[in-house]
Amino acid sequence: MSFFRWLCSALVLLALTCFAVLPVTAQVNSTPIPEDDYWELVQSSRETVSHLKTLPDEQVTQELADLALRWESVSTVEAGGRVTPVDSGYLVQLLRADPPDLEKIDGFLSVLQDARTAHPKQVFSTAELTPLHDILSRPEFAWPEQAPNPVNEWFQKLWDAINLWLDKIFGGGAITIPVNMTWMTIIAAALLAAVLFFAFRTLVVDFMKEAQIKGGDDGESKPLTSETAFEKAQSLSRGGDYRSAVRYLYLSSLLLMDERGVLRYDRSKTNREYLRSVSNSPEFAKPLEEVIEVFDNVWYGYHSLEEDTFKHYSDRVQELKDKRS
């Protein structure tokens, strides 16, 4: 397997691993706690923090670490039959700070309790909300409906397709990736995008390569292979066209090593890049270096080539054909 294919496979596995880990992490703390339990945790946390003010630093750190684990598990609260998401990240950060600021932690918990006390308890009836509906129906509040964004719609469809694809792989609805991505989701998405980019580039290069190596200057439509290029070179040499024959021998060498997986034929690459790609294979590097040197001198330098020199050049290409990767 070539290095490029190995890299793509590694990126696919890494991206799928990141995607697979995310839902598991999200499901660990997905069970909502009742509202009363939430406020009891706030109160007990304040009492614990108040008690810690008289304890040694080592014990304070351990107690706060245990408290941070409890708050880290709180992600949703059930109240009145509805589940509400809560973000305990800031409090967990305070609890794990080094050194800890007990006054700041207690102040934050106090603000939570004050917010609960100040929260309105009154529930308005439908009749009491009628004036509000009348106000909102006035022209100054009648905002025109925003046209759908085709880019957002396309992105959402793409995301749904990715979720469906992952669900087919893992089954059971275990994989569901939300659009509001965390940093790990962003990394996984970037890896998946890289895989798709390289896969697309590979397809384009393959199509271009196939179009570029079909036939020769005589307009033949038969796909060019290392063997047909070698035969074309011998035919041209018998007619005295050594310059074109050298070109076909050069192409035969590159196509041969592409067919054997030693390098990847790509007309956008330079000859030096080809040589670097086989530098770890001395048995191919030395003959290919001589092939490229002669080709550069004849094709780009317009140096003349005699029959004996061409035969030696052809022998070097034959030497490449006789080697095994």
d(Cα 17, Cα 71) in Å, to the nearest integer?
Answer: 27
For residue 213, the model assigns a pLDDT of 47
CB 78, CB 35: distance < 8 Å: yes
Q: Which of 243, 283, 288 is nearest to 269 (CA)?
A: 288
3-class state of residue 129 by DSSP = coil
DSSP secondary structure, 236-263, as one string: HHHTT-HHHHHHHHHHHHHHHHHHTTSS
Residue identified by tokens 């770890």 is 280
Element (H, E) at 228: helix 226-238
**pLDDT of 22:** 44
Per-residue pLDDT of the chain (325 residues; tens, 9 = 90+): 444 555 555 555 555 555 544 443 334 445 888 988 999 999 999 898 888 888 888 888 888 989 988 898 888 988 878 888 888 888 998 998 888 888 999 988 988 888 888 766 656 667 777 777 777 777 766 766 667 777 777 777 877 777 777 777 766 554 555 555 555 566 666 777 777 777 666 655 554 544 444 444 444 545 678 888 888 888 888 888 888 888 888 888 888 888 888 888 887 888 888 888 888 877 778 878 888 888 888 887 777 777 888 888 888 788 777 766 5
CA 284 to chain centre: 35
Tell me which residue of 103, 92, 96 sits closest to 52, measured CA to CA: 103
Q: 282-295 and 307-322 helices cross at what angle (nearest 10)? A: 150
What is the DSSP code (8-state) at residue 212?
H
Any residues with CB less than 8 A from the CB of 20 and at least 6 apart, and which? 166, 170, 175
Please, what's the b/e burial string for 2-12 (b: 16 or more CB within 10 A of its CB; e: otherwise)? eeeeeebeebb
- DSSP per residue, 266-317: -TTS-HHHHHHHTTT-HHHHHHHHHHHHHHIIIIIT-----HHHHHHHHHHH
Spatial separation of the C-alpha atoms in residues 184 and 193, rounded to whole Å: 14
Query: Per the structure block, which two tokens stand in for 294?
Result: 């002669």
